[in-house]
Structure 1
């Protein structure tokens, strides 16, 4: 893509722009301790969370917003929290429900999130070039508030989450909706994210250009063939790369 034809960059959120401070397991353990729960180890909680989240995402995609009987995101996450602790041997359902409610609201706090150090410079550069920016994320409806809290929301023309859209990456419809919201053609748009399938393949199969941001996830490339010049080690690489394509 020649950068002079580029009008829009959409961004993944978690793992690309920001991440949970510490880890999910650390947040769950800290919450449990507040309720006098003798918590499992962080490594066990992290592993159990990944399993519980994956299972719930397959059972009720888009945080339950597409189910016949719509599930609110808070209830969706409560199931994940319950299953996470259950997989670690904790089955005090009433207590875990209290922890789940606490976590759902606590994770809205900006100090629970960490913005990657290369994000503000990259977004500022893109805005200075007159590019439109949007977020396209498999996240729930708390994302707008979180982005505002960590000082990122003002960069973006639109923030679209799978919860609110009723669809999720890598579905082409999710990318097409971002294009519709910004009145930009696929050939004038670029998507940046850290997941080879949901971000890179989802965008390219929707007709958009894409860059994969590694974020130390090189091992996750597996058998997916991505041209080396489409892989970013850091967002610091983005401005010179886009400038080079315009010459």
Structure 2
């Protein structure tokens, strides 16, 4: 029997939104980043250095299950060899440009309609996401007309905690006012999203089948089984009838 789910939390990257490769968009982002920091380095040298430092930071954050703010990320980890006050001040813009250098982030075709319908059906909605951005996701929510749908937005760059640490899930439940057993989580990662949700005692975990995530996720020796696997967000409407 399914638990009585009252609240549904969502991941964002590769769950609500996917990345589309757009070379012109990527080129513009990279040029903008170089202009913003007024670098004398070549494009290839700068981005090779940034990729290496980014990968080093990712390994650290995954091992400690802690994230830093945008200002700390850029001034201490990614560009510590540049003038720190300028880098810190420009960190939010640098984060946007760095993320854009992966490609254009767009909502899944059924994301907005599904979220709005779940809200109409009486579910409380929230977000729990590992992300380096502090403003881009809230801005996207507002631009998509979804600000009224999400009661709380928990971002690792703001709260420092990272999935799969169950504490980030417990924090989200306290903020939204729903006990863990009455919450569901929708995410794409077959390891950390499932592991963290289950360790936190959530009533349900739904994994959206995203090939890009599965291709990137290396074998960890861990196996976690979600309660449901979906291929489209609109399938959530079959799992969550009107309350």
TM normalised by structure 1 equals: 0.71
Matches within 5 A, 1:160-175: 160-175=154-169
Matches within 5 A, 1:182-193: 182-193=176-187
Task: Give the structure 2 partner of residue 104 of structure 1.
Answer: 92
Q: In structure 2, list runs of 5 or more residues that go unmatched.
A: none
Task: Give the structure 2 partner of residue 6 of structure 1.
Answer: 5
Matched position secondary structure for 1:195: coil
Taking a change above 3 Å as real, the CA distance of residues 138 and 218 of structure 1, as seen in their structure-2 partners, is: closer
Task: Give the structure 2 partner of residue 136 of structure 1.
Answer: 128
1:235, distance to aligned residue in structure 2 (A): 1.1
More helix by share: 1
* Contact map agreement 1:28 1:103 (CA 8 A) in 2: no
The 1-side partners of 2:78 and 2:20 are apart by 18
1:212, distance to aligned residue in structure 2 (A): 1.5
TM normalised by structure 2 equals: 0.72
Taking a change above 3 Å as real, the CA distance of residues 221 and 61 of structure 1, as seen in their structure-2 partners, is: closer
Number of residue pairs the alignment of both structures matches: 226
Residues 151-192 of structure 1: per-residue CA shift (max 9 Å, x gap): 433320111122333422211121112222222222211011
Taking a change above 3 Å as real, the CA distance of residues 119 and 105 of structure 1, as seen in their structure-2 partners, is: same
Match of 1:125 among 99, 117, 129: 117
Residues 63-89 of structure 1: per-residue CA shift (max 9 Å, x gap): 33xxxxxxx422313444338xxxxxx
The 2-side partners of 1:39 and 1:99 are apart by 18
Matched position secondary structure for 1:133: strand
Match of 1:63 among 41, 64, 67: 67
